[in-house]
Amino acid sequence: MSDETRCVHARIHGRVQGVFYRAWTEETARGLGLSGWVRNRRDGTVEALFCGPAGAVEQMLLKARSGPPLARVDRIIAEEVREPPHELPHEPPGAPLDELLSGPPGEPRFQVLPTV
């Protein structure tokens, strides 16, 4: 697999809230060296942005199909993001995505965001 940088926006459907899916996603993504974020949506789905080496993003998407032990993933809708947005689409309003995705110099950052 290529190690070119890839970003994917994903919506995860199923029993994915109240089962530690966000915390599991954060831990798994960090373990794979990905940048991005994860959050619950009021419609019952989980939304995430995974950015990093193409192989690691692909691994994350495969792992996300199972999730943590209590989750039941029915489907994942994943879309390539050619150029990561400079701001988050909803909350926090106008938050610069660069600040959310950058940790210490040279290190990725992945975090849990508030529900929208």
Active-site residue set: 22, 40
Can you tell me the distance from the alpha carbon of 56 to that of 32, in angstroms, rounded to the nearest whole number?
Answer: 6
Measured CA to CA, the distance from residue 58 to residue 62 in angstroms comes to 6
